[in-house]
Structure 1
């Protein structure tokens, strides 16, 4: 597993669960560091979209990651995926922070997960895992340039302007690659992969 610094390498749900197990069972600091490197920027983006300021996002990411370290043994892969569990901890930390400060939770925070089952069935998890696998396979059929921007946009949750700077290409090129890649992925998925 190559989580360290490789933005294109998105760990599978099984790899994330393995990291959580290593943290819970062995107090594995390297596994925690890998989880931190992967989730910290994503959590900051997630919390920023919920209306938290930049400094507040950084504090909440630290609080979330500390909670993950402390509560790793309570993670149950049969109840939720690692990402769902971590984002729920972050969301709750943000809501708690607002309540402590007397600001109340934002509408977005309160409704963010209303459409998802907090305790999905085994069947639902299998369907989600199968869909994710199909998307990963479909990504391999894209030209490298398109696959890279898709990974950075959707898995990395990077703004397109940041992707353009990172790759050293115009913003319009990033947008075109995303559009073309999504059209190809949609066709591939519709054709049954």
Structure 2
């Protein structure tokens, strides 16, 4: 049975929330039209993203298809309160590629050898780094969900602003504005003395 979400197969998907609903239709009804709409939208974007991250075209195609198969099989695990459809699907693809690289046991690049041994990290430096990491996490949680989404895609998934805009079906200016406003807020929060972040 085709659910009412299957409209995406014949009509335009107007925004990220529609992709969320398509995944939910797959989870709830095993809606093939909803899945086809997701596949048509995300598979080519995943392939391009994976190729930019170093995968060969054929491998990128395999990873993209594997990621979309995972979306079909595990759609019920999608939680729109934790991540938007694009973030969830791109994370699946990235993790599939990382798993494959680990299985292949590719050797890590050999670092340059220097004669000067680096100073061992001091406990104070380690503590300060942990505190800084905690402050960044707190600051990120204070952003609006739409700002967190664009920051994740632009900085953690390494997508260009244009790719973020295309993936979220938003104007490029809106994406740039959200990123700029999020970065301003993060900078303001991180410039506050420790203990004053809200």
Same fold (TM over 0.5): yes
- Name 2:130's counterpart in structure 1: none
**2:144 is aligned with 1:124:** yes
Task: Check if 1:66 corresponds to 2:69.
Answer: yes
State the partner residue of 2:88: 85
Does the C-alpha gap of structure 1 residues 5 and 22 become closer, same or farther in structure 2, counting only changes over 3 Å? Answer: closer
Per-residue deviation, residues 124-179 of structure 1 (Å, max 9, x unmatched): 315558x8xxxxxxxxxxxxxxxxxx9789516xxxxxxxxxxxxxxxxxxxxxxx
> Which string of whole-angstrom CA distances, capped at 9 and with x for unpartnered residues, describes residues 99-141 of structure 1?
11112689xxxxxxx9x97xx7595315558x8xxxxxxxxxx
1:14 positional shift:
1.1
Give distance in 1, aligned partners of 2:108 and 2:85: 24
Identify the residue that residue 50 of structure 2 maps to in structure 1: 47
Q: Cα gap change, 1:48/1:62 in structure 2, threshold over 3 Å: closer, same or farther?
A: same
Cα distance in 1 for residues equivalent to 2:77 and 2:106? 30
| 2:79 aligned counterpart, secondary structure | coil
Bigger radius of gyration among the two: 2
Q: CA RMSD for the aligned pairs? A: 4.0
Q: Decide which of 6, 12, 29 is 1:26's aligned counterpart.
A: 29
Distance 1:82 1:29, change over 3 A: same
Query: For 1:103, what is the secondary structure of its paired residue?
Result: coil
TM-score (norm. length: structure 2)? 0.54
Give matches, 1:95-106, under 5 Å. 95-103=98-106
Aligned pairs, number? 134
Conserved 8 A contact 1:98-1:105 = no
Large movers: runs of 4+ above 3 Å = 1-6, 120-123, 126-129, 150-154
TM-score for both structures, normalised by structure 1: 0.56
Structure 2: runs of 5 or more not aligned = 110-132, 151-160, 178-198
Retained in 2: the 8 A contact 1:3–1:37?
A: no
